[in-house]
A and B are shown apart, each in its own frame.
Chain A
Amino acid sequence: DAGVIQSPRHEVTEMGQEVTLRCKPISGHDYLFWYRQTMMRGLELLIYFNNNVPIDDSGMPEDRFSAKMPNASFSTLKIQPSEPRDSAVYFCASSLRGTLNEQFFGPGTRLTVL
């Protein structure tokens, strides 16, 4: 298995633009997580899905952020409009049978909003 796949790996955009981050979880995994990592706030959970259904989105910072999982092999995290404070590394992770098991992280997307 190729592991969790994220695209793009790097994204540079201007304030106000829409940004879409993509994730393909490990085949067969039923949980998918989106994290954001910054020096100031560390690694924080934004949202997670179980069987494509959002379970906890309490970490989504505000209405500018939205996430979808239309099927078991694909998820998107969208920021619209983007702001400089959204600059961070965004990780997608997946696990099998729940949050009490190992989460496998993707390589991350480094987002820079100018």
Chain B
Amino acid sequence: GENVEQHPSTLSVQEGDSAVIKCTYSDSASNYFPWYKQELGKRPQLIIDIRSNVGEKKDQRIAVTLNKTAKHFSLHITETQPEDSAVYFCAAIVGSGNTGKLIFGQGTTLQVKP
């Protein structure tokens, strides 16, 4: 079946360093790739998304890149802060048009050490 692979499963960085999380997907027709952040005991919340008609998108310290040929996309967080510590999930749409469904990666636990 369709799946999304996410790496690494855990990531520990020092405050101020950058963090990179990578995902690959299998459905070449996927055209929407959101990233969700889930703090401990809380609900997932969208932090950034990218559509297949662009290769990169930035929002302050967060950026996402997409390589459709290689079927992979990445989340980049610069100048990390302790409040960035959370589990991050990538996802990809599987299926056609606006009736597809999101398939989530397994998550990356990011720890930012002060």
A binding-site residues for B, Cβ under 8 Å: 42-45, 48, 50, 55-56, 59, 91, 97-100, 102-103, 105-108
Mark B residues whose CB is within 8 Å of A. 31-32, 34, 42-46, 49, 51, 89, 93, 95, 98-107
- Chain A residues with Cβ under 8 A from B98's Cβ? 97-100
Tell me whether B46 and A106 are in contact (CB under 8 A).
no
B45 touches A105 (CB 8 A): yes
CB distance from A2 to the nearest CB of B (A): 13
CB–CB A42/B100 < 8 A: no
Which B residue sits closest to A97, measured CB to CB?
B98
Task: Tell whether, in the assembled complex, residue A56 and residue B101 are in contact, meaning their CB atoms are under 8 Å apart.
Answer: yes
Query: Between A and B, how many residue pairs show CB distances below 8 Å?
Result: 51
Q: How far is the CB of A93 from chain B (nearest CB, A)?
A: 8
> What distance in Å separates the Cβ of B80 from its nearest Cβ neighbour in chain A?
23
Q: Are B93 and A100 in contact (CB under 8 A)?
A: yes
In the complex, 10 of the A-B residue pairs with CB atoms within 8 angstroms, ordered by the A residue number, are A43-B89, A44-B104, A56-B99, A99-B32, A102-B34, A102-B49, A105-B43, A105-B45, A106-B43, A107-B43
Using CB atoms, name the residue of chain B closest to A45. Answer: B101
Task: Please determine whether B43 and A99 come into contact, CB atoms closer than 8 angstroms.
Answer: no
Chain B positions within 8 Å of A59 at CB level:
101
Contact A43 B93 (CB under 8 A): no
Smallest CB–CB gap between A86 and chain B, Å?
19
- Whether A99 contacts B89 by the Cβ 8 Å rule is no
Q: Which residues of A contact B34 (CB under 8 A)?
A: 102-103
Chain A positions within 8 Å of B101 at CB level: 45, 48, 56, 59, 99
CA distance A55 to B93 in the complex (A): 15
State A104–B77 Cα separation when bound (angstroms). 22
For residue B49, which residues in chain A have a CB less than 8 angstroms away from its CB? 102
Shortest distance in angstroms between B52's beta carbon and chain A's nearest beta carbon?
11
Report A40 CB to chain B, min CB distance, Å.
10
Quick check: A43 and B43 within 8 Å, CB to CB? no
Contact A108 B32 (CB under 8 A): no
- Tell whether, in the assembled complex, residue B93 and residue A99 are in contact, meaning their CB atoms are under 8 Å apart: yes
